[in-house]
C-alpha cells in the first residue's frame, strides 16, 4: 500500500484554506446583512445609502458561499466511481 503524502498534504491545505475563506465570507455577509437592517439613531441621514449597499454586499457574499459549496459538491460527484 502506497500513500501519496504530498497529495494528501496538498488536499488538506487547500481544504483548510477554502473552509476558512467560506467562513470569513459568510461572516462578512452576516455583518453586512445586520448593518443593512440596523436603524440609524444618530440622525445624520447616512442610512439611505448604506442600507442598499450593505444588503447587496450581503447577498453577494451569500451567493459566493453557495457557489463555493456547489463547486465542492460538483468536485465530489464528478470524481465518484
- Per-residue model confidence as pLDDT tens digits over 9-22: 999 999 999 999 99
The confidence score (pLDDT) of residue 13 equals 96
For residue 53, which of 24, 29, 25, 32 has the smallest C-alpha distance? 32
Which own/partner pairs from 69-72 qualify as long-range (CB within 8 Å, at least 24 positions apart)?
69/22, 72/18
Cell of 54: 450593505
Reported pTM: 0.75
Strands (E), the chain: none
- Name the one residue in this structure whose C-alpha cell is 437592517: 37
CA-based radius of gyration for the chain: 19
Give me the pLDDT at residue 76, please.
87
pLDDT digits (tens, 9 = 90+) for 18-48: 999 999 999 999 999 988 876 655 555 555 5
For residues 36 and 55, is the Cβ–Cβ distance under 8 A?
A: yes
Amino acid at each position: 500500500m502506497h500513500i501519496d503524502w504530498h497529495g494528501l498534504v496538498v488536499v488538506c491545505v487547500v481544504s483548510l484554506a477554502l473552509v476558512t475563506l467560506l467562513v470569513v465570507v459568510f461572516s462578512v455577509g452576516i455583518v453586512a446583512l445586520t448593518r443593512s437592517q440596523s436603524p440609524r439613531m444618530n440622525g445624520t441621514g447616512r442610512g439611505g445609502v448604506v442600507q442598499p449597499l450593505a444588503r447587496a454586499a450581503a447577498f453577494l457574499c451569500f451567493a459566493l458561499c453557495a457557489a463555493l459549496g456547489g463547486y465542492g459538491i460538483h468536485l465530489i460527484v464528478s470524481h465518484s466511481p
